[in-house]
Amino acid sequence: MSDKPSVLFVCVHNAGRSQMAAGWLTHLAGGRIEVRSAGSAPAESVNPVAVEAMREVGIDITGATPKVLTAEAVQESDVVVTMGCGDACPFFPGRRYEDWKLDDPAGQGIEAVRPIRDEIRARVERLIAELPPA
């Protein structure tokens, strides 16, 4: 493990919420936090509406790809934030777990995804404030 705190964002498809959260954390933390994301049943690609919503705020997540959730990813993370994957996420003692109740952007238009994006930003900002510095 590195000296930096690490955060893993998990949702079912790793295509919307977790990708936006990873984008926000990468952008806002300025390299102080290791960022991961994964899904219990990853999609083929990131939700294009999530990509567009993030582009509107100057964050490019076009290079992101949905990844399979592994026990190793959980074990290597200090904080695991789940977004609707529930019991599919492995549990390891000593990790901090948070479950963020967020609407799923899948199948939604940009108008519906913007408030989800903004809610994720607010939660990511709170999370950064709570994490110890490296």
List, by residue number, the catalytic residues.
11, 85, 89
Per-residue DSSP letters for the chain?
--SS-EEEEEESSSSSHHHHHHHHHHHHHTTSSEEEEEESS--SS--HHHHHHHHHTT---TT----B--HHHHHT-SEEEEES-GGGS---TT-EEEE------TT--HHHHHHHHHHHHHHHHHHHHHSPP-
